[in-house]
């Protein structure tokens, strides 16, 4: 059973390059539906990224969802999450050292006066990630983070 599960997950990861547009469209659909309750959004897309900016939120709010294929390749890290975690630690140190912000917990930080919430999930060699960046105190963020979390999950072929 474990071998079958591994082969299914590995095969789904291998198919990612050809099918990423299907997963990105699925994530974009979830974002559009979930964010419609928050405001009016402008959407920009590429093959591996969706960027949405709110036109009428309380402050400046941006949502980004990305697929980073073969994320740890050539880095010396065995797993995408290990590379992400190391990068996050370094970023947090630099924010404090440069007096540009601070990390609040594993997935939230204040960067140049903006609050950033991250959602990250590894799948095989790939990293699915999203973040919402907002002015501090933007009340829409509490509604946006669960929508973002759902959009990142939708990037998986196993969703």
Give domain status of residue 159, yes or no.
Answer: no
Give domain status of residue 127, yes or no.
Answer: yes
- pLDDT tens digits, one per residue of 116-130: 999 999 999 999 999
Give domain status of residue 11, yes or no.
Answer: yes
Six token digits for residue 64: 């980004």
pTM higher than 0.75: yes
DSSP letters spanning 80-125: HHHHHHHHHHHHHHHHHHTTSEEEEETTEEEETTEEEEEEEEEETT
Q: Check whether 156 has a pLDDT greater than 60.
A: yes
Question: What pLDDT, on a 0 to 100 scale, did the predictor assign at position 139?
Answer: 85
CATH of the domain at 125: 2.60.120
Residue 67 belongs to domain spanning? 2-154
- Tell me the pLDDT of the chain averaged across its residues: 88
Give domain status of residue 28, yes or no.
Answer: yes
Q: Check whether 17 has a pLDDT greater than 80.
A: no
Domain total in the chain: 1
Question: What pLDDT, on a 0 to 100 scale, did the predictor assign at position 19?
Answer: 56
Confidence band for 136, pLDDT divided at 50, 70 and 90: confident
């Amino acid at each position: 059973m474990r071998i079958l599960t591994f082969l299914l997950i590995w095969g789904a990861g291998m198919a990612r390059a050809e099918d990423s547009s299907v997963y990105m469209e699925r994530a974009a659909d979830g974002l559009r539906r979930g964010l419609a309750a928050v405001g009016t959004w402008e959407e920009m897309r590429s093959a591996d990224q969706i960027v949405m900016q709110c036109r009428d939120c309380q402050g400046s709010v941006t949502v980004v969802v990305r697929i980073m294929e073969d994320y740890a390749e050539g880095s010396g890290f065995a797993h995408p999450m290990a590379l992400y975690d190391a990068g996050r630690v370094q970023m947090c140190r630099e924010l404090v050292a440069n007096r540009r912000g601070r990390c609040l917990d594993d997935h939230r930080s204040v960067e140049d006066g903006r609050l950033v919430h991250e959602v990250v999930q590894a799948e095989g060699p790939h990293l699915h990630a999203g973040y919402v960046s907002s002015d501090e105190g933007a009340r829409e963020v509490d509604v946006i983070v669960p929508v973002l979390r759902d959009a990142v999950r939708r990037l998986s072929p196993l969703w």
